[in-house]
Amino acid sequence: MTRSLQGRSLRERRVFSACARSDFKASYPEGPHKLDHDLVSNPMLELDALAMLGEALPPESVEYNLGDVPIGVDGKPAGNGLSIGQTIREIGTSNSWAVLKNIEQKKPYAALLEELLDELRPIIEARTGKMMRTQGFIFVSSPDAVTPYHFDPEHNILLQLRGRKSMMVFPAGDARFAPDELHEAYHTGGARELKWDDSFAGEGETMRLYGGDAIYVPVMAPHYVKNGSEVSISLSITWRSEWSFAEADARAFNAMLRGAGIMPNAPKRWPARNSLKANAMRIARRIPGLA
């Protein structure tokens, strides 16, 4: 059982306050918003433990790069020449950004993820149905590191554990900030990094996070993150819904239509189901050579 420094399991206390759960219920799934949490003192989430976790995860579950990158990048940032263990243990001086992916591959972290999501499960499943493909990610960043402009296919809550950062979030589904063609490319095997334009700067919502703060980021909402002047540790808890999978499959189907010279309409945001295109794409994948 996962335990805090005070020796209590997460099941014996609430990590998200009553106010946080109320705000989440009012805003989920389309409204980005801040929450508060009580997960800042857990030995599993300190640097030494995270360095050992990074060394224990398979290579494909670890990504780490130089941290002083621009908001917009073309492809993946450059590596830093260190191992994942070195990167995390020396994060104060390594000028790096690291992410440990799918931490649920290790049992203690799987329990942590499950217990956190269970607090919100009734709210989530009443609105978007069964929680699917639950995953956890841990981000460890050097002072002033940047996570470039991108989007993600999951419903996501980012919990700030140490340090501070600011996240600028843009409206999901607005083609100005993420053109339909980039959505389609991502859902057919492309990268999640987006093209940044300086004219966007005044149009996103900036949310500042300190230890004990969290933010909910809607599915495919473009965003970037700028770390403060201290080392930062954040935990991202994510899940998918049938709606999010349908939106992704509808985007993939639109890519097929576009390839055939048809200019498709973008999928609708929640609560639209996008089931017609999604089901068409699921059928197409069963036909050899078609998708």
Residues whose CB falls within 8 Å of the CB of residue 118, separated by 6 or more in sequence, listed in order: 11
Structural domain for 167, as ranges: 18-241
Instruction: Please report, for the domain that includes residue 208, its CATH number.
Output: 2.60.120.650
Residues whose CB falls within 8 Å of the CB of residue 5, separated by 6 or more in sequence, listed in order: 41, 42, 43
Residues whose CB falls within 8 Å of the CB of residue 271, separated by 6 or more in sequence, listed in order: 243
pLDDT at residue 78 in the model: 55
Do the beta carbons of residue 57 and residue 23 sit within 8 Å? no
Query: Per the domain annotation, does 5 fall within a domain?
Result: no
pLDDT at residue 3 in the model: 43
| 140 and 38 belong to one structural domain | yes
β-pairing, 213-217 vs 96-101, is unpaired
- What pairs with residue 139 in β-bridges? 99, 234
Does 12 have pLDDT greater than 80?
A: no
Residues whose CB falls within 8 Å of the CB of residue 191, separated by 6 or more in sequence, listed in order: 75, 76
φ, ψ at 140 (rounded to 5°):
-125, 125
| 253 and 223 belong to one structural domain | no
β-pairing, 62-66 vs 205-210, is unpaired
Residues whose CB falls within 8 Å of the CB of residue 202, separated by 6 or more in sequence, listed in order: none
Of the three residues 241, 259, 277, the one that is the final residue of a domain is 241
| 206 and 280 belong to one structural domain | no
pLDDT at residue 9 in the model: 52
Query: Per the domain annotation, does 6 fall within a domain?
Result: no
| 121 and 235 belong to one structural domain | yes
Angle 105-106-111 from CA coordinates, rounded to 5° = 100
3 state DSSP class of 233? strand
| 130 and 250 belong to one structural domain | no
Angle 252-256-259 from CA coordinates, rounded to 5° = 135
pLDDT tens digit string along 239-276?
999 999 999 999 999 999 999 999 999 999 999 999 99
| 121 and 257 belong to one structural domain | no
| 236 and 251 belong to one structural domain | no
* Res. 77 pLDDT band, cuts 50 70 90: low
pLDDT at residue 135 in the model: 98
Query: Per the domain annotation, does 9 fall within a domain?
Result: no
Residue 290, Cβ density class (10 Å: 0-12 exposed, 13-18 middle, ≥19 buried): exposed
| 269 and 152 belong to one structural domain | no
Q: At what angle do helices 242-259 and 107-128 cross, to 10 degrees?
A: 80
Query: Per the domain annotation, does 291 fall within a domain?
Result: no
| 149 and 214 belong to one structural domain | yes
The number of distinct structural domains making up the chain is 2
pLDDT tens digit string along 146-200?
989 999 999 999 999 999 999 999 999 999 999 999 999 999 999 888 999 999 9
Query: Per the domain annotation, does 10 fall within a domain?
Result: no
Query: Per the domain annotation, does 2 fall within a domain?
Result: no
| 24 and 162 belong to one structural domain | yes
Residues whose CB falls within 8 Å of the CB of residue 223, separated by 6 or more in sequence, listed in order: 149, 150, 151, 167, 168, 169, 170, 204, 217
* Res. 53 pLDDT band, cuts 50 70 90: very high
| 175 and 232 belong to one structural domain | yes
Query: Per the domain annotation, does 148 fall within a domain?
Result: yes
Q: How far is CA 236 from the centre of its chain?
A: 6
Query: Per the domain annotation, does 4 fall within a domain?
Result: no
pTM of the model: 0.90
DSSP structure class, residue 3: B
| 70 and 88 belong to one structural domain | yes
3 state DSSP class of 252? helix
